[in-house]
Amino acid sequence: MLDFFTIFSKGGIVLWCFQGVRASFTGPVNALIRSVILQERGGNNCYNHDSLTLKYKLDNQFELVFVVGYQKILTLTYVDKLIDDVHKVFRDKYRNQIQQNGTLGLLNGSFDFLDDFSILLRAAEDSSKIRPPSVMKTFEQSQKSQKTVKSMIEKPGDKVKENNKKNKASKKETVASEVVASNNKQSPTPKQSVLPATDTKEEISSQEIIQRKREEFYRKQAKGANKANKSPKPEASKEKGKQPRVWVPGPSNTKDLDYSKTANGNIEVVVPDEDPAALKVRAGDMIGNLPDIKCDSSSEEEEEEEQTPVNSKAVPSAAKSSAKKSSFGGMFGMLKGLVGAKSLSMEDMEPVLEKMKDHLIAKNVAADISLQLCESVAKKLEGKVMGTFSTVTSSVKQALQESLVQILQPKRRVDILRDVMEAQRMRRPYVITFCGVNGVGKSTNLAKISFWLIENGFSVLIAACDTFRAGAVEQLRTHTRRLNSLHPPEEHKGRAMVQLYEKGYGKDAAGIAMEAISYARNQVFDVVLVDTAGRMQDNAPLMTALAKLIAVNVPDLVLFVGEALVGNEAVDQLVKFNKALADHSMAEKPRLIDGIVLTKFDTIDDKVGAAISMTYITGQPIVFVGTGQTYCDLRSLNAKAVVAALMKA
């Protein structure tokens, strides 16, 4: 039984609806629009909301959406057929009216679709009814009953006769193939044996076959001996590889180990990460909101380079003719690829989407995400009427770019500085919890965020809740000392801007975080940064401890720290992290990941696909991007720059 079936335009106007129950369907449909249609996640036409399952179909030509909803516990096999039939009948019946007056014309005129829908619903339900199983045949109706006992008795001579027939047939086939091969070639090679015409109809005995194979074997042996007698070619002298260093006993010569000089003889001066002067020069960009990340990915510059004119004097005549041919071929290819004001079909888009999918996978996007993105673009463009001078490739590429930008743009506002000031007015600390797998750089990026908060005038308390990894507390202690050296207490009325709250190793992380938050409230700290232990997504005990820490302390922001180097692994990490937090949470409504910190972004060039994979899986924004090893190497994500780098060939 269906709960509802509704037809509305992409502008939000409900044209027609059917309600099987009295409950309102406004909430589920609005959730579908916000979470799927507006977020460009239309690869799967099924969406679950609370206890309902919603299936939808897009009509891109008339800008219509068909949605059906039913209870999740029901297994209705006819829903897909029903929504296709309703879509087809509705289009055929009201095509002219929509083309002339638009979707509003249906509301102004006489409009009744209930009878047609009832007929289609009844037909779909009848087609899905369980059919009775087919009646088995009796023994008298089977073919085995037609056989007699005499025909099923095997005699010893029957197998011998069958084998003889098979051998004769195979011999005739080999003779015929050899004769055909000899007729096709004018000069037969020594390996081939030409039979006389009289032997074509006769059978070859086994002795003749053995004799021919023996002669062929002798011939091969003779050839091998001739090759061995030839003088071998002198081998090319191999280049010498890396020679091992010889260590002379006695005082070491430091000049031999000095590799700081470049090929030009100039000495490279490396500024250490902790140099206060160098950091203070760059720290001006850290005040206020972080600057956007820059990706060297301008595809427009490449197009301009391709369109630059060629100097006719410097180009020979042959090159001129080839340039003319190539320009003509390019113009002809462009005109050939024009759509010509017709509606796009899946056959038109399939080769282009296949190339786009391979391109996304090469740029480090997870394979499943690439497939879902291409399917979403196909559903978005299928049936849409294109312009006269639009190509399929350009249309698909533009739609994919719009989808990627929409995915990377946050669904909700993430302004940490404003949230910290709001928490100050409420006289409580703003709490951020960092989680992630081992070795992704949680502690390092926590120190970068601490530096950014200090530059904006906020005091920070770091809670050392990584009580599992050896050296984790010492690492945070070192960062605290260096951050305080950049902002001495004398500059802030004798109070250190960064302090570390630690209780050693082997303690309960949730208890340490609770004590740190209470200490920050008493000592009037603005922000509490909770550092947790790195854990794999499959480690159930550690995931339970993390879920307990989040449920007990209720942080304002839960950030997942992930690497920009990973591809398919990012999907697995985030899915299992969210699932583990939901399964092991003690709260009624489990707390999941609120945002992402993308680290090691400076090591991937234009392979920025991990950003797409992470945001597509969680639906949460990328709050920070780590671009280096110093405290100033922290940026915010620029969606358009990342998409431009992703689409760059």
Residue 405 lies in a domain: no
Mean pLDDT, the chain, integer:
76
Q: Is a pLDDT exceeding 90 seen at residue 106?
A: no
Percent of the chain with pLDDT over 90: 18
Among residues 516, 535, 537, the alpha carbon closest in space to that of 527 is found at 516
What tens digit of pLDDT does each residue of 535-589 get?
Answer: 887 778 888 888 888 888 889 999 999 888 887 777 788 888 888 888 877 667 7
Using CA atoms, how far apart are residues 401 and 380, in angstroms rounded to an integer? 13
Residue 451 has φ and ψ, to the nearest 5°, of -60, -40
Confidence at residue 230, expressed as pLDDT on a 0 to 100 scale = 53
Mean pLDDT of 273-296: 65
**Domain containing 101 — which CATH number?**
3.30.450.60
What tens digit of pLDDT does each residue of 400-455 get?
Answer: 888 888 888 877 778 899 999 999 999 999 999 999 888 888 999 999 999 999 99
**Domain containing 622 — which CATH number?**
3.40.50.300
Which of 15-19, 27-31, 64-68, 338-342 bottoms out in mean pLDDT, i.e. has the lowest? Answer: 338-342
Residue 553 lies in a domain: yes
Distances from the Cα of 249 to the Cα of 231, 253, 259, angstroms: 49, 10, 21
Residue 102 lies in a domain: yes
Q: Is a pLDDT exceeding 50 seen at residue 127?
A: yes
What tens digit of pLDDT does each residue of 3-39 get?
Answer: 899 998 888 888 888 888 888 888 889 888 888 888 7
Confidence at residue 559, expressed as pLDDT on a 0 to 100 scale = 92
Residue 155 lies in a domain: no
Three-state helix/strand/coil letters over 541-560: HHHHHHHHHHHHHCCCEEEE
Residue 238 lies in a domain: no
DSSP string, 71-87: ETT---TTHHHHHHHHH
The last residue of one of the domains, among 73, 91, 126, is: 126
Confidence at residue 39, expressed as pLDDT on a 0 to 100 scale = 76
Confidence at residue 641, expressed as pLDDT on a 0 to 100 scale = 85
Q: How many domains does the chain have?
A: 2
Confidence at residue 277, expressed as pLDDT on a 0 to 100 scale = 59
Q: Is a pLDDT exceeding 70 seen at residue 310?
A: no
CB–CB of 453/577 below 8 Å? no
The last residue of one of the domains, among 81, 97, 126, is: 126
Q: How many CB atoms lie within 10 A of CB 42?
A: 20
Residue 23 lies in a domain: yes
What tens digit of pLDDT does each residue of 220-235 get?
Answer: 777 665 655 554 555 4
Residue 132 lies in a domain: no
Confidence at residue 173, expressed as pLDDT on a 0 to 100 scale = 53
Percent of the chain with pLDDT over 70: 70
Residue 277 lies in a domain: no
Range of the structural domain that residue 95 is part of: 4-126
Strand pairing report for 4-9 and 64-71: antiparallel
